Structure formats: structure tokens, C-alpha cells
Amino acid sequence: MLSKNVVITDEAAGKHVELPVIRGTEGEPTLDIKAVPSTLGYFTYDPGYAATASCTSEITFIDGNKGILRYRGYPIEQLAERSTFVEVAYLLLFGELPIEEQLNQFRDELTYHTMIHERLNHFISGFHYDAHPMAMMAGVVGSLAAFYHNRLDMENPEERVLSAKRMIAKMPTIAAACYRHHMGWPIAYPRNRLRFCERFLDMMFSVPSEQYMVSEVAARALDLLFILHADHEQNASTSTVRLVGSTGANPYACVAAGISALWGPAHGGANEAVLAMLDEIGSVGNVPHFIDRAKDKNDPFRLMGFGHRVYKNYDPRAAIIRQACYEVLDELGKDDPMMDLAMELERIALEDDFFVEKKLYPNVDFYSGIIYKALGIPVSMFTVMFAIARTVGWVSQWIEQSETPTKIGRPRQVYRGPQERKYKALHRRG
Ligand code: CMC
């Protein structure tokens, strides 16, 4: 909805432009700057898009100052307490909580699509045994377009939803297959009588020689983490998915690009980096030294799992995971000294002027690794866990974009290279 305009004047040039203000249902008003280049002759400069909205969306709302996160209007705290990952996936994809019949049908559809083509297993076995699973995931998910090319009419809404369901369903199967390849274990096919997270744990940890009983506590903890990671509006990987999608690329290519963006340590790769950092810190006594390093401008070290572009308050997901950490460690009967270390690090950081002034709080990745570790998930698979959950957000955002007239994403630049010069023959250079 457009309301009053804002006038920007270039006094020296004697020009002005009236910019419409776009107001969403919530959040800050946003200036529509499209007319600036044609009327004032300037481009706008915003590296890192810290001041730029790239799209309109009805999916996820964040108020970073108040620490609010809502999916389709529902507070994350309520979904974490009362919903399930599959129900949240339905909500994010279709916009409403399902009635029982819709939920059952959706669950059946996700279950029906869990198998992957046997050739994909051959593809996975072609990787070196110690390949990072995120590298494998990006390659294997991108290759899905080669397996499902007969149903890739992206103008067709039904086929868009079908490819979205396929990816949500197959991602855990691919992730577990990557892990098993690393371990040298035979493929474990999805057992469709199990629920989403139970099935994933079974595919990860069952071996042919022994009966594997999925722990109810572990499945519930995983379900919670998946709910919390499912979407987060226009973060780096989701923006990547939208940017690639704006070219008309197929959804598997878009999600493969999202996986690659997620892998970076400033984004989803932080959960792996947090455990490496806690390991390096080693003991509570060393915390002050690492806090000093994080504050030192000449030291590239940062406290991983701290800070966020949008949250300038406690990340609401971190608050939920912190509480879940106690419960899961308690219920699984595990006592992880890393939890004490993480809490001490958080306590000291939150009292330190540097972190207070810069509003650096623990983010979603700070405590999630401690739960994954307690569930027996290896550290190299942490970001893969994030990718399984975030696939729901990626495909929901991709579908939303596909339903809206979209221009190709094409930012401009401030060119600082050489001005025009003349080509010199090889013998005249130097
Ligand atoms: N430790 C120490 N200093 C920090 C940290 C940190 N973790 N994060 C930000 N700062 C400082 C930074 O040095 C800068 O200081 P100055 O203004 O003096 O130059 C200031 O705070 C602002 O930092 P920034 O890098 O400009 O902020 P940003 O919004 O561009 O980056 C961030 C956000 C998440 C990339 C960053 O806080 C960071 O690198 N955190 C560690 C990695 C991490 O935990 N990432 C997970 C993010 S949440 C999950 C997800 O998105 O996937």
C-alpha cells in the first residue's frame, strides 16, 4: 500500500524527486527509490544491502530491535512449543496452518517423495570419502534437475509445488547418504512408517547388523531445531535463491546456490565454527583472552555465534535453543562441559561494554551445535542440518517470487577501475 511521498532534492542541480513510501503490514516504512537514477541521475550505494529491501514478502517477519520472529504471523515461540516441522513447512509454503486432512495429505506427500534415484547414490559414491558434506549437498541437489527434467515447467504452479515438496522430502535422504558415504556404510533407504525427523535419524545411524531404535527425545529435539531454522526472511542464502530464481533458473539450481551461500561461516557455517571455537577456547579460564581477541581490531578473530545483521537484541531462536539445550542434555543423560563454557562465554560477553555497545548477542548458531553434538550428529554435518530445515524457507520464497512479476536481479556498481586507455602490442608493454 502506498502512502505519502518523500521529496529528495539535489539543490546544486536544481532537481528533485518524489519517492513513494511503501508500508508493509508491519516493520519500517521503505522508500521506493526506483525513480532516483532517471530523475536525479544518481545510483544508490548500499554494499551488503544493509539499507535495502529487495522484495515484498508475506512469509516471515522479523523485528530485530524487539527480538521478534514470526512465520506467517505466528510467533516462533508458539510454533516451537506447539507445532511440528512438517506443519510449519505447510504453513510457510501455503500461508495457513493446515486442517487435519491437509496435514495428513501433506505428510503423505512428503513421505512419498523421500526416495532418491539410485543413480544419485552412485553420484554420491563418486565423491572422495572425506569430501565436506556441504560440498556434496550443493552438487547433488543441483544435479536433481538432471533427474527430474521432465517435470520442470516452472510456469505451471502445480509443478512448482511438486518440485518444492520433492526437495523438502529428499533433502534428509541426500544428507544421510552423504554422511554414510563418508562413514563407508551402505545406503539406508527411507522408512516411510517413521515420521520426518525419526526417518532422518534412522537413515543417519541405522546399520544393517543391529536394530536401531530412534530416540523419541532426539527426534523431538531435531524437530524443534528444524522449526527454528525453517525460514528467516531475506538472509544471504534466501536472497541468493531469489536472485538465481529471478533469472528463470530451475528450483534445484536455485536451492543448490542457496546451499553454497549458507555454507559460509558468516551465515549457516557458523554452527560448525562455534564448536571449533569452543574447542579452541578449551576451558572457562581462557574465555577472557578470547573476548579480548574478539575486541581487537587488528585480530580477525570473531566470537562465532554472536552478532546478527538484523537482531540488535537477543535472537529469539537462541533463547529457545538455550533452554532446549538444558532439557536435551538432561533427558539424554549427557553432561557436556562445552555447555558450561558456552554459558560462561555468553555471560562475560553480555557484560562487556564492547558487545553491549555493538548490540552483539548470541544468535541461533551459538547453542544449536551443542544439541546436534548430543544427538550424535558429527560437526561437519551441522550446516547440513541447517540446510535441511532452510530448504522449506528457500522453496517457499522461491514459489512466492515465481507467483509475482519479477525483474531479473541486477545490481549496479561504483566503477573505480582505469579509465579508457589504448591497447598496446605485446612488444611495447613494460
Ligand atoms: N565478534 C566480534 N565482533 C563482532 C562480531 C563478533 N561475532 N560481530 C560483529 N562484530 C563487530 C564488528 O567487528 C563491527 O565492529 P566495527 O563497527 O567496530 O567495525 C560491528 O560489530 C558490526 O559488525 P558487522 O560485521 O559490520 O555486522 P554485519 O551485520 O555485517 O554482520 C554477522 C553480521 C552475523 C556476519 C557478524 O555479526 C558475524 O560475523 N558474526 C559471527 C558469525 C555468526 O555467528 N554468523 C551467524 C549469523 S546468524 C545465522 C545465520 O545468519 O545463518
313 contacts 66 by C-beta, under 8 angstroms: yes
Which amino acid is residue 202, in one-letter code? D
- Measured from the CB, is residue 360 less than 6 Å from ligand 1? yes
Q: Which residues of 122-145 are buried (b: 16+ CB within 10 A; e: fewer)?
A: ebbeebeeebbbbebbbbbbbbbb
pLDDT (0 to 100) of residue 3: 57
* Least confident piece of the model among 205-214, 225-234, 325-334, 399-408: 325-334
Does 365 participate in catalysis according to the annotation? yes
Q: Return the best residue to mutate from 274, 298, 309, 350 for the ligand 1 pocket (most ligand atoms within 8 A of CB).
A: 309
Report the interhelical angle of 133-147 vs 251-263 (nearest 10°).
170
pLDDT in tens, 70-129: 999 999 999 999 999 999 999 999 999 999 999 999 999 999 999 999 999 999 999 999
Does 308 participate in catalysis according to the annotation? yes
Q: Which percentage of the chain shows pLDDT scores above 70?
A: 99
Residue with CA closest to ligand 1 atom 24: 309
pLDDT in tens, 401-417: 999 988 999 999 999 99
- Measured from the CB, is residue 305 less than 6 Å from ligand 1? yes
Catalytic residue among 308, 315, 335, 352: 308
Does 267 participate in catalysis according to the annotation? yes
For 184, which DSSP code?
T
Of 330, 305, 328, 300, the closest CA to residue 317 belongs to: 305
